[in-house]
Chains A and B, each alone.
Chain A
Amino acid sequence: MSRSFRIYQKKRGHRRTGSGTLAGLGETLFFGLFLLGGCVGLVAILATLVIPEWRVNNEFGETTCVVRGKELVEENGTEGPAYRPEITIEYQVDAERFSAKTSDIAWASSQDRQAQQAALDQFEVGGQYRCWYDPLDPQVVVLVRGYSWWIWLLLIIPISFICIGGGGVLYRAWHWGKSAERRAASAGPISLRGRDSNGESQKAFPTVPSPTDMTNSPGTTLRFRLPISSSAIFGLIVLLVVCVLWNTIVAVFLVDVVKGFLEGRPNWIETFVVTPFALVGLFLIFVLFRQLLITTGVGPTLLEISNHPLYPGRTYELFLSQAGRLRLHSLELSMVGTEAARYRQGTDTRTETRCVHRQSLFRREKFEIHGGVPLEVRCRLDVPVGIMHSFKSDNNELNWNLVVDGKVAGWPDYERSFPVVIHPEPSGGTRP
C-alpha cells in the first residue's frame, strides 16, 4: 500500500495516535485479501484455460471425424449477445465410435458474429476433418488447435493482484513489531538511499554529497572548473516558457478586443476582463527581460579551484574570471554555508533556509571590466578548522557554495553560485 496513507498513524514522526498493532493487522488483512483474490484468479485461469489449451496442443490424440451438423449458437450476456460456433461430429477412437458437439477447448463466445461465422464456415457438413481427442476422456474433442493470445493477457490481472497483495503482506510481515531503529538498520548502513550514485564516496562519508559533479570538468588555470548552480538558468527558462504561453493566450483575446475598437464596436466587457491579464503579461515580459539582461549582459563568470573536495583546515587556490562590459560598484567572492530544513504538517510544507557562515575571500570596489578583457583574479580559500562538512538527508541539508556577488552601476545586481563539497577530516589523519 502506498505509504502516503496510514491507518492509525500520523504521516510524519514516530508517534502513533492509535493502536499500531490493530493498524498493522488491518493492513495485513487488506493485502491478504488482494493476495488471496489474485491466487484464486490465477488458479482459475490456469485450470480452465491455460492447462486445457496446453493439453490440446501436446497431449490430445489425433483422429479423423465427419461433420454431421453445425450451428452458430447465440447467448445473451450482460454486455449483449455473444456467439459461439458449435459443430456436431462423429469419430472413432480405437474401436469405439463417438458422437460429440465441439467448439474450441474453452468453449469461448465472442460478440464478433462475423469472425465466429467465418470460423464455422471453414467446415462443411459431411466433410472429413482432423480432430483431436482427450485420451483421458475421448468424449472431449476439438477441431482446432493453437494458442489464444488473450489468455496470456488475462493472466496480468491475477498476477498484479498477487504482486500488490504479496508485496504488501511481505512488507507488513517484515516490519511487524519492528522498532524504528531496526527498520532503519534494515535499510542498510547510513546512506542516502539511492540519492547519490557514487557508492564509494557514500561508504567513506555517509550523508556527504558526492563531489563528482564538481570535479568532472578540468580547469584551464587550476585543476577543476566548478559548475555554476543551475537554478538561475533553469529559472530563466521557466520564466521564458511561462511568459510565452501567457502572452500567446492573452494575445488571442487582445486581437479581438483591438479589432472591436478599430471597427467602431468596442466590447467593453471583454476589454475589462482582458486588461488585467494583459497587464500581467506585460509584467512578465519586463521581468523576463530584466533576468535576461542579468544573465547575458553581465557575461560569463568562471571559477576554478586547485583541489576538491574541501577539508577543514586546508588552503586552496581559486581563480575567478568575470567577463562583460561592466562598471561595478563592487565584486565580492565569498564562501557561504546555508542550512535548509523542510517541515510538513497539515497542509503546510515549509522550507526554511538560514545562512550560517559567510567568509569573504575577495573584494574589489569601483572598477570597470572592459569588453574582451575579463577580470581575472587569484585568491586563497582557507577553510576554517572545525567547520561543519556538507550534509544532505531527506529533510535537512547543509550546503556550501562559493558565491560571486556583483553590484553593477545602472544594471541589476547579480549573484552567481558555485556549489562545493566540504568533507569531514578523514579518520586516521589521512591527508587528501
Chain B
Amino acid sequence: MNDPLVTIRFDGNGRVYSPGDILSGEYRLEAFSLGRIRAVEVSVLWYTEGKGDEDMAVHEFQRLSVDHGDWIDPSRPGRFSVALPNSPLSYDGAILKICWCVRVRVFPRKGKQVVGQRSFVLGNVSAVELVQS
C-alpha cells in the first residue's frame, strides 16, 4: 500500500498572484481510507527564510473535523478559495526571503500527521541584485 500523500493544485495552474486576487484550488488526499481521518486543516500562510529565525503568520485557516460533524471523504478533492492580502509580498532578498504557500495538514485517527504544501508567489517584487564575489 502506498504511503498517504497530500497533493495540492491551483486553479488555472497559477503560481503568481497579485494582492487582492482570489487564490483557489483543490487538494487531494491520496492513499487515505474512508473513516481514517480525524481532521484536515488548510492554511494559507507566509513564512520567512534566510539567516534569521523563522517568522510565520496564517492569512486564512480552515479546519474540518469529524468531531465537529464535518464529513471528510478522502476520495473527493477538497477546495479552498481566499482573497489574498496586500502584504507581505513574496520576496527573494539577500538574507531574508518571504515565501507564501498553501499547507494542508491531515490528522489521521492513528499515526503521524501528513502534510502537503505548495508554494505560490504574491506580488511582483524584483529579486535583489547581489554583488559577485
**Chain A in direct contact with chain B (Cβ < 8 angstroms):** yes
Q: What is the interface of chain A, defined by CB distance below 8 A to chain B?
A: 12-14, 179-182, 184-185, 187, 189-191, 204-208, 339-344, 352, 354, 356-357, 384, 386-389, 391, 393-398, 423-428
The answer on a CB contact under 8 Å between B54 and A13 is yes
Out of A341, A352, A386, A398, name the residue touching B124 (CB < 8 Å): A386
Q: Tell me, yes or no, whether B96 is within 8 Å of chain A by CB.
A: yes
Interface residues of B in 23-57 (CB under 8 A from A): 41, 43, 45-46, 48, 50-57
Q: How far is the CA of A187 from the CA of B85 in the complex (A)?
A: 17
The answer on a CB contact under 8 Å between A341 and B52 is yes
Known A184-B61, A190-B57, A384-B126; further 5 A-B contacts with Cβ < 8 A: A181-B41, A181-B61, A190-B58, A339-B94, A427-B18
The answer on a CB contact under 8 Å between B89 and A424 is yes
**Closest Cβ neighbor of A357 among chain B residues:** B128
B-chain residues with CB within 8 Å of residue A386 when the two chains form the complex: 124-126
Out of B43, B48, B103, B123, name the residue touching A396 (CB < 8 Å): B48
A-chain residues with CB within 8 Å of residue B1 when the two chains form the complex: none
Proximity bits, B10-30, A CB within 8 Å = 1, else 0: 000000001110000000000
Given contact pairs A179-B105, A181-B45, A396 touches B50 in the complex (Cβ within 8 A): yes
Out of A181, A340, A428, name the residue touching B105 (CB < 8 Å): A181
Number of A-B residue pairs at CB separation under 8 A: 134
Q: Tell me, yes or no, whether B81 is within 8 Å of chain A by CB.
A: no
**Closest Cβ neighbor of A177 among chain B residues:** B107
A-chain residues with CB within 8 Å of residue B103 when the two chains form the complex: 181
Given contact pairs A342-B53, A356-B94, A387-B126, A182 touches B88 in the complex (Cβ within 8 A): no
The answer on a CB contact under 8 Å between B55 and A206 is no
What 5 A-B pairs are tightest by C-beta distance, nearest first?
Answer: A341-B52, A427-B20, A185-B61, A386-B126, A181-B43
B-chain residues with CB within 8 Å of residue A191 when the two chains form the complex: 57
**Closest Cβ neighbor of A13 among chain B residues:** B54
Q: How far is the CA of A340 from the CA of B18 in the complex (A)?
A: 26
**Closest Cβ neighbor of B90 among chain A residues:** A388
Q: How far is the CA of A185 from the CA of B19 in the complex (A)?
A: 20
Given contact pairs A341-B51, A354-B94, A426 touches B58 in the complex (Cβ within 8 A): no
A-chain residues with CB within 8 Å of residue B61 when the two chains form the complex: 181-182, 184-185
**Closest Cβ neighbor of A181 among chain B residues:** B43
> Shortest beta-carbon distance, A11 to chain B, in Å?
10
Q: How far is the CA of A391 from the CA of B89 in the complex (A)?
A: 9
Q: How far is the CA of A386 from the CA of B58 in the complex (A)?
A: 24
The answer on a CB contact under 8 Å between B86 and A204 is yes
Interface residues of B in 89-133 (CB under 8 A from A): 89, 91, 93-96, 98, 103, 105, 113, 123-126, 128
Q: Tell me, yes or no, whether B75 is within 8 Å of chain A by CB.
A: no
Q: How far is the CA of A14 from the CA of B103 in the complex (A)?
A: 15
Q: Tell me, yes or no, whether B79 is within 8 Å of chain A by CB.
A: no
The answer on a CB contact under 8 Å between A388 and B18 is no
> Shortest beta-carbon distance, B47 to chain A, in Å?
10
Q: How far is the CA of A179 from the CA of B58 in the complex (A)?
A: 12
The answer on a CB contact under 8 Å between A342 and B52 is yes
**Closest Cβ neighbor of A189 among chain B residues:** B59
Out of B43, B46, B55, B124, name the residue touching A395 (CB < 8 Å): B55
> Shortest beta-carbon distance, B17 to chain A, in Å?
11
**Closest Cβ neighbor of B88 among chain A residues:** A207
The answer on a CB contact under 8 Å between B87 and A184 is no
**Closest Cβ neighbor of B52 among chain A residues:** A341
The answer on a CB contact under 8 Å between A343 and B20 is no
The answer on a CB contact under 8 Å between B96 and A341 is yes
Out of A340, A356, A427, name the residue touching B86 (CB < 8 Å): A427
The answer on a CB contact under 8 Å between A424 and B123 is yes
Given contact pairs A181-B103, A395-B55, A389 touches B20 in the complex (Cβ within 8 A): no
A-chain residues with CB within 8 Å of residue B57 when the two chains form the complex: 184, 187, 190-191, 206-207, 393
Out of B20, B52, B91, name the residue touching A388 (CB < 8 Å): B91
